[in-house]
Amino acid sequence: MPQDQKLGPAVAAADATFSVTMHSPRRAGEDSGVSPPLTVTSKFELEADLEDPLIRREIERVVGQDDFLSAVGRLLEWGDVAADPRIFSPPDQVVVEESWLSDVPAVTVNNEAGRPIRHLSRQESRLQWEGLRMARLRSRLFAILLTEALVCIGSTYRPDIDEVASSFLAQFVPVREAETFGRALHYFWEGQHHDAARVALPSVEAVIRSMVRSTRGDSYVEPKGGRDGHESTLGALIRMLPESLPESFRWDLAAIFTEPLGLNLRNVHLHGLAEEGVGHDAAIILYTAARFTLITASPPDDSQT
């Protein structure tokens, strides 16, 4: 059952740490060796004061005093996690001017362990990285509020696992996946955040695969050029989602689950790499699972054929 929990001011800092290695161009006459890299690390200490009156009122509005399903419905009004954070915008002081990127011919983005993720040699790719960096920053702020809201909903209504599972049932969320999401949310309320994330993630992929198959008929990649046949990866599935879904939602899924420069929650958790901020990750995963209930498919219009 949900536990009564009180979350004070929360800090999301570890996941907002990036190091950027910039390789300076060689001048004429210099040897062909690699120029010594200049490494810049940007770290944002992001604190959301959950006792702030505006934040408190919004969370109380979402939780309400009626019933569990209504509270979930109000929570889903918050919209996209990374692409459209409507509840909490980063303060001006954490939005760092990155125009210097346009003057750097090559940028290597490293993860928190200092391992290179991607080499960015074009202006377009550097702008993409900047967009993903800010999306990741916004996601962490969003997750702080989301975690508090989910905890308060659980402690206010204390729904049993059957009621929670039924709240996830939808056109693309069958009973098996709904029950899985229900168990995961109960794990979250019990403080078992690792279990919540690891239980929910395969079902997130199953739902996305179901949406792809509903429009494309199949998600299997046939053998070709010496490569074995295989099921499409989650990243490929997200790219295959129908364009009838909002672009911001499709971008949100990629930034949350599969983009190495984003949160990349699927790989982080299913490869056993998660360390800090697991509760916030689980909240984002479960919130996204709940958003699947908003998606429906209409039968083809025969009059247009």
3-class SS string, 232-278: CCHHHHHHHCCCCCCHHHHHHHHHHHCCCCCCCHHHHHHCCCCCCCH
Q: How far apart are CA 143 and CA 99, in angstroms?
A: 28
Is-contact 287 168, C-beta < 8 A?
Answer: no
**Rounded to 10 degrees, what is the CA torsion of 238, 181, 186, 145?**
30
**Nearest partner of 138 among 15, 292, 42, 288, judged by Cα:** 15
Helix (H, G, I), strand (E, B) or coil at 6: coil
pLDDT of residue 103: 58
pLDDT of residue 85: 41
Position 92 pLDDT exceeds 90:
no
Q: What average pLDDT does the segment 5-20 reach?
A: 34
Tell whether the model's pLDDT for residue 140 goes beyond 50: yes
Better-predicted residue by pLDDT, 25 or 82: 82
Mean pLDDT rounded to a whole number for the chain: 77
Q: What is the helix (H) or strand (E) element at residue 54, kind and residue range?
A: helix 53-63
Q: What is residue 164's predicted lDDT score, i.e. its pLDDT? A: 97
- pLDDT of 225: 82
User: Would you say residue 98 has pLDDT above 50?
Assistant: no
- pLDDT band at residue 303 under the 50/70/90 scheme: low
Provide the 8-state DSSP code for 15: G
Q: Are 283 and 143 within 8 A, CB to CB?
A: yes
Q: Where are the domains of the chain?
A: 48-96+133-297
Show the tokens assigned to 34.
């690699």
pLDDT at 269 over 70: yes
- The region of weakest confidence among 59-68, 93-102, 132-141 is 93-102
For the chain, the 3-state helix, strand and coil shares in percent, each to the nearest 5, are: 50, 10, 35
pTM strictly above 0.85: no
Report helix angle 68-76 to 53-63, nearest 10.
130
**pLDDT band, very low/low/confident/very high, at 48 (cuts 50, 70, 90):** low
Q: Per DSSP, what are the bridge partners of residue 18?
A: 42
| Closest-CA residue to 47 (of 76, 7, 83, 84) | 7
Which residue has 């090559």 as its token pair? 106
Given a cut of 50, whether residue 17 has pLDDT beyond it is no
Tell me what the mean pLDDT of segment 47-74 comes to.
90
- Strand-pair partners of 224: 227
Distances (CA, A) of 93 to 96, 129, 133: 7, 20, 15
- Average of per-residue pLDDT across 160-175: 96
* Residue 99 main-chain phi, psi, to 5 deg: -65, -20
